[in-house]
A and B are shown apart, each in its own frame.
Chain A
Amino acid sequence: MSYELNRKLAAARGPLPTTASIDPVTADIIRGAFETVCFESATYLGRAASSPIINQSNERNAAIVDAHGRLAMGAVGTPHLTFVNQMETRWGLMNQDRYDWGPGDVFLANDPDHGGGHLPDYCVYGPVYDEAGELICIQTLQAHQGDTGGKDPGGFSLDATDVFTEGVIYPCLKLVHRGELRRDVFDTVVRNNRFATFAGDIAAMIGGVQYAVRMLDELIARWGSGVIKAAINQSIEHTEKRVREEVARWPDGSYEATVFIDHDTAGTKDVKVHVTCTIAGDQLTVDLTGTDDRPELVGVWNTFANTRSYVMCQVVAAMDPTIVKNEGYFNAIEIVVPEGCIAQPPPNKPAALGSFHPACEITEAVCIALSNVAPERSQPQLYKIGMPNMVVGFDDNGMMWMDQGVDCRSMDVSAVEGLDGWGSCPSALGSLILSEAEDAESRFPILNISREMTTDGGGAGQWRGAPGSLNVKQVLKPTSAMAWMVSAEHPLRGMCGGDDAIPYTNHFEVGSDNERKIAHTAQDLLPQGAVIAYQHGGGGGFGLPLLRDPEAVKEDVLDEYVSVAAARAKYGVVLTGSLDDYTLGVDHAATEALRAEMSGLAEAAE
């Protein structure tokens, strides 16, 4: 629990010792088998869990870590969880004797200061041994929990000054000893959670790990542990080689980016993330030096492991998607995070909200820097929403219900070179399945009024960002609602000349005398019938809007992604005919003239 520990946890690990040799085809067959184990483990959890955030939004991840603590093969799940789990299992690995590790054990970890992300991301893992009793690998399963037993339901405390406020912390807790559930421990973990569904979820996580461990036992028995170890080594080496090949194709140089968060949860303005991506031959270095380190900041501290993960999420997006996601990425890329900055906080800082911001600004800054070298893959893999409006009530039994924040519709889907933003989220979040109005309204006293895309809600560009949606809902009973607003003053940035996304805005009690804009934070009791309206920011554009094909602009106007006025003002496209009867056409001569005039003005302004 120190910077020194962080350095130890992050230190590079060598290959597993083995005398077995392996050909590339066999290695790939074993990698496929490992991925199938992860797939099944994640599927098991997704189907058996009860919390919507796991089984509807799929916010979970299965991965295999080797005996040296390296991410062994490809993982299956949410990218933002994929690159964290090896750090928290390393703490357990370094203390195997202390915690009496053995076959059949299952552990729980969520400690931000011992290699974890924020508290709600529970990592359940089980070590796998060969017949001779040698530890070969560890099956991990992570899932975001709806509550962590802290001061506030959900685990997100806007005013938290330390991690203890946020909930119960487990550095490495044994849930199952040699195959036997530790009932006392299990019950204690369950007791420290507000959700009735939690016991089922944690049981499903244990079951998913045990299921996967059995499959790994079979694979080890079948191939022999030497061959398995050789396959893991080969997979990691292969990834490192491919990553370095990608980097070597990029032009050498240093590319900087600065991104600001509007404010922390206490109102301190303009929290800064600074990234320098340096490419020298086949070496990429991502350096966060220059990132904010004001000790008085509140709520914007991202754990060290999470910072590494959010850097990596963007780096993998910039590369060939077929490269296997494993430790080879960390071996190939150097990540520099100054101690004490918001990306590597001092011990015991609160961690929950940091997983949103600055985590996503780190990703955004890496994206902006890499857009210089990989423009066709420079879509930020993030969520600029401060926090979805958390609408919370209690049922007749005193148990909490929450209309999930995962009802966000369209947000933050930026364009890349050659492709408009589409769908409702960046690619990396595409396995998080959104909840639906009919399910939510059948359970909770709320009414969804509108959730449509906002015309002109996407950043203009040669390729256009997807418009953000306006979510309007009404609470039918008195209900508490919590919000944290950012990305209004500093919305998601456009890339390579594309326009920024529109700002996020949020209003409570819309249409009443009490209507108010939430500019910073809110933790309010809403009266029955109150309407809340959340405008999501949409995606940033890519490239200069004046370069967009005028016919594409016309099509956008027909689809009401873009207004006639914005077609002219943003894109310099003059349209004829009428939208109302679908007779729009492009006046090419007038468009050319307008665009010449606009680019002349732009040049003059520079």
Chain B
Amino acid sequence: MTYRVGIDIGGTFTDFALLKGDEVILHKNLSTPEDRSLGVMEGLGKLAEKEGLPLGQFLNRCDAIVHGTTVADNTLIEMNGALTGLITTEGFRDEIEYRRGFKEDIWDVRLAPPRQITPRRRRLTVPERVLHDGTVHVELDEDALREACRKLRLQNVEAVAISFLFSFVNPEHERRAKEIVRQEIQNAYVCASHEVLPRAPEYDRTSTTIVNAYVGPRVTGYLEKLVQRLVEGGYANQLMVMQASGGVMTKEYIDGAPIRVLASGPAGGVIGSAHCGAAKGCPNLLCVDMGGTSYDMSLVVDGQAPAEAGWNMHHRYLVGVPMVKVETLGAGGGSIVHVNAGALEVGPRSAGSEPGPICYGRGGKEPTVTDALVMLGILSTDEGFAGGSFTLSRQGVAEAFQRLADEMGHGDAEQAAFDTWRVVNANMSQGVRRTTAGKGIDPKDLVMLAYGGNGPAFAAIQAEDLGISRVLVPKASPTFSALGTLVADPTIDEERSYIASAAALDAGRIRELWTQLSERARRYFTDAGFDAQAIRVNYQLNMRYPGQNFSLSFPFEAGVPLGDLSFIAEDFGPRAIALFNERHMAEYGHIREHEIPEISGVRLVAHVETPGPRAAGGFTPSGAVPTADRHRRANLGEGFGEVPVYLGGDLTPGMEVASPAIIEETFTTIVVYPRWKAQVDDAGDYQLLRS
């Protein structure tokens, strides 16, 4: 028996998903923030124990350990990355500070600037210039570069980002500069923009490179420590790491641009969702993940969670590497409810887990979404709820909502709690609409997949709001990100800029760029022990009409063996235009008949399929009638009444629960709203259906 293990480290818990054969075993233990690899090793020890093996033997039998980490995200949230310097082309020192003019709130003149990773004193320029066609206009001034290094050395920088204009066309100056910086500033982490994000324009590339330099040493340091512990423990294979693009890749590959792990946690959840949806015959999903502090939304279309490489603003910095698109609202269970000038607002401030909602009884004084659910009777205050770890309390909750009602001059405490529930629903629906409409998707054509601790409490009512009639709530949902890392394919997703009119494409140049990308992918995959024959590639183009800022990516040729570029034929240009127009029509509903589009880059998405867990779908009625554990006074949107409460442990595949009802599962509560029913499918997962 061999194993595969998926591990996802969150702020509070480290989640594990162990795959043996078809079977998945889940485990959770507390994270260890001081040294996160300790929590990983502890959990692996527990899994080995469950398998009745010593840790060494267990690790030795692991084909793959796949890991999702939030180290990069935490570094940006806490702004405690490496002391970073930037070396850039003379004349372009301040692009990173201009942010292309972008400000997050155009109405608030008191909005503070983002904390600068590279304040102006650590942004140094050198004479050099490459033109758009790659020709050298000004040679690299190496003396000036050494002088810049002296200045950065004096400031004790730990990391240096190098970003020159048009380095993605001709990287020679950056390569040479990197050598010199390495000589001049010993022990510094050095990265060049053509390695991190080889595409235009300069702000996007420079910002991405700077963030890479800032988080790079933390990420690589952490991964090295983890690898060391795993090797010492007996693990003999490569550590695979989750990327924001939704694929996993080797640590060696990640080391080349550690920024690729930023935002990989939510991506893992989406990949897990896609896998689960596919197994249940639902290729088009709206995935909603409501946790303690946020509500994350993402889309799975045709079984895929496409990674986008556009304007991804992360913690106020643009990060241009491909990311599975996850939109976030500050609306989680811990989000604080307050009255602003007579209007009831939820979030974005959160009570977090300390002190947490009032009902946690840990000193929280401000009412939260979770408190509203307690007021409404949706969450239990009975002993032993949520796996028995702690009991929620009603103490102080009603008083807090009464204060809100008084402040609004409208209704009573229960009304204020109900209004909170309405506002949360409305915020979520609008958030979803903003996500789907930009893609030209009508939410009612989707199946909702709800996960995270608080998602299933709102899922059905929100689905109804959006016209969705089916909601999946997998039992594994509390450890979905770990499951996602396990089912994600090893993937390399990279692009290269090439700007030209589609009417005058240089097919040779495109062939050359795709070949470069293919060879890079081949090297990393074969180094990781994969058979090059098993690699499948989507050769994609990025195109736009002249003047458009946003390019559309689409596959020119999909699912072909690596390096097989025989599809580049004489009709390349016309075919590219036709495919682009098709894609533009699908995205925007129109094409420009009289305009010839331009290509802005080529992209390669190479992956190797890996074995994943088999997840069943289907519902076979068992005829068994579930018995309610008890009844509770609750308001499921249409006023208070006695509502039956079921225990998840009592429900078996084939059972159906009529509305209204509440189902209490470990770590989550599922609400069966009026006009809905719940079924336990053949795999033991829940689905909610509108009757």
Taking Cβ atoms with an 8 Å cutoff, the residues of A that contact B are 23-26, 28-29, 32-33, 35-36, 39-40, 43-44, 47-52, 55-56, 78-79, 196-197, 199-200, 203-204, 207, 211, 238, 242, 245, 316-317, 320-323, 325, 376-379, 381, 409-410, 416, 418-419, 422-434, 436-439, 441-443, 447-453, 469, 472, 558-561, 581-582
Give the distance to chain A from B129, nearest Cβ to Cβ, in Å. Answer: 8
In the complex, whether B618 has a CB less than 8 A from a CB of chain A is: no
Contacts of B549 in A (CB 8 A): 52, 55-56, 433
**Across the interface, do B131 and A410 meet the contact criterion of CB distance under 8 Å?**
no
Contacts of A325 in B (CB 8 A): 107
**Across the interface, do B165 and A40 meet the contact criterion of CB distance under 8 Å?**
no
Contacts of B499 in A (CB 8 A): 442-443
**Across the interface, do A423 and B97 meet the contact criterion of CB distance under 8 Å?**
yes
**Across the interface, do A32 and B547 meet the contact criterion of CB distance under 8 Å?**
no
**Across the interface, do A33 and B426 meet the contact criterion of CB distance under 8 Å?**
yes
**Across the interface, do B165 and A443 meet the contact criterion of CB distance under 8 Å?**
no
**Across the interface, do B422 and A424 meet the contact criterion of CB distance under 8 Å?**
no
**Across the interface, do B589 and A207 meet the contact criterion of CB distance under 8 Å?**
yes
Return the CB mask of B92-128 against A: 1 if under 8 Å, else 0: 1111011111111111111111000001110000000
Whole-angstrom distance between the alpha carbons of A558 and B155 in the complex?
Answer: 11
Instruction: State whether A450 and B91 are in contact (beta carbons under 8 Å apart), knowing that A40-B438, A196-B595, A438-B200 are contacts in the complex.
Output: yes
**Across the interface, do A47 and B547 meet the contact criterion of CB distance under 8 Å?**
no
Give the distance to chain A from B141, nearest Cβ to Cβ, in Å. Answer: 15
Q: Please classify how large the interface on chain B is, using the bins under 10, 10 to 19, 20 to 34, 35 or more.
A: 35 or more
Instruction: State whether A432 and B548 are in contact (beta carbons under 8 Å apart), knowing that A28-B344, A409-B94, A452-B93 are contacts in the complex.
Output: no
A-B contact pairs, 24 of them (CB 8 A): A50-B547, A196-B546, A200-B592, A204-B588, A321-B109, A419-B112, A424-B100, A429-B101, A430-B101, A430-B102, A430-B103, A430-B105, A433-B549, A436-B95, A436-B201, A436-B204, A437-B202, A439-B200, A450-B91, A451-B91, A452-B93, A453-B94, A472-B91, A559-B119
Instruction: State whether A450 and B90 are in contact (beta carbons under 8 Å apart), knowing that A40-B438, A558-B121 are contacts in the complex.
Output: yes
**Across the interface, do A423 and B101 meet the contact criterion of CB distance under 8 Å?**
yes
Contacts of A430 in B (CB 8 A): 101-106
Task: List the A residue with the shortest CB-CB distance to B155.
Answer: A582
Contacts of A425 in B (CB 8 A): 101, 103
Return the CB mask of B531-560 against A: 1 if under 8 Å, else 0: 000000000000001111110000000000
**Across the interface, do B113 and A426 meet the contact criterion of CB distance under 8 Å?**
no
Listed from nearest, the 8 A-B pairs whose CB atoms lie closest are: A430-B103, A450-B91, A436-B201, A559-B120, A422-B113, A438-B200, A321-B108, A424-B98
Whole-angstrom distance between the alpha carbons of A35 and B107 in the complex?
Answer: 15
**Across the interface, do B546 and A443 meet the contact criterion of CB distance under 8 Å?**
yes
Give the distance to chain B from A111, nearest Cβ to Cβ, in Å. Answer: 27
In the complex, whether B342 has a CB less than 8 A from a CB of chain A is: yes
**Across the interface, do A55 and B200 meet the contact criterion of CB distance under 8 Å?**
no
Whole-angstrom distance between the alpha carbons of A530 and B423 in the complex?
Answer: 59
Contacts of A316 in B (CB 8 A): 107
Return the CB mask of B190-226 against A: 1 if under 8 Å, else 0: 0000000000111110000000000000000000000
Contacts of B112 in A (CB 8 A): 419, 422
Give the distance to chain A from B474, nearest Cβ to Cβ, in Å. Answer: 29
Q: Kindly identify, within residues 635 to 654 of chain B, every residue whose CB is under 8 Å from any CB belonging to chain A.
A: none
Contacts of B408 in A (CB 8 A): 24-25
Whole-angstrom distance between the alpha carbons of A431 and B101 in the complex?
Answer: 7
Whole-angstrom distance between the alpha carbons of A83 and B107 in the complex?
Answer: 13
Q: Kindly identify, within residues 453 to 511 of chain B, every residue whose CB is under 8 Å from any CB belonging to chain A.
A: 499
**Across the interface, do A28 and B423 meet the contact criterion of CB distance under 8 Å?**
yes
Contacts of B99 in A (CB 8 A): 423-424
19 additional A-B pairs beyond A423-B103, A433-B549, beta carbons within 8 Å, are: A35-B430, A36-B433, A40-B438, A43-B438, A50-B595, A55-B547, A56-B549, A197-B595, A200-B592, A242-B341, A322-B341, A377-B110, A441-B131, A442-B200, A448-B91, A451-B91, A452-B91, A452-B94, A453-B93
Whole-angstrom distance between the alpha carbons of A229 and B131 in the complex?
Answer: 58
In the complex, whether B675 has a CB less than 8 A from a CB of chain A is: no
Whole-angstrom distance between the alpha carbons of A43 and B587 in the complex?
Answer: 12
Contacts of A48 in B (CB 8 A): 588, 590
Task: List the B residue with the shortest CB-CB distance to A374.
Answer: B109
Give the distance to chain A from B367, nearest Cβ to Cβ, in Å. Answer: 15
Whole-angstrom distance between the alpha carbons of A199 and B99 in the complex?
Answer: 30
Contacts of A200 in B (CB 8 A): 545, 590, 592, 595
In the complex, whether B434 has a CB less than 8 A from a CB of chain A is: yes
In the complex, whether B53 has a CB less than 8 A from a CB of chain A is: no
Give the distance to chain B from A135, nearest Cβ to Cβ, in Å. Answer: 24
Whole-angstrom distance between the alpha carbons of A319 and B216 in the complex?
Answer: 42
Whole-angstrom distance between the alpha carbons of A175 and B110 in the complex?
Answer: 42
Contacts of A199 in B (CB 8 A): 592, 594
Task: List the B residue with the shortest CB-CB distance to A314.
Answer: B109
Give the distance to chain B from A227, nearest Cβ to Cβ, in Å. Answer: 14
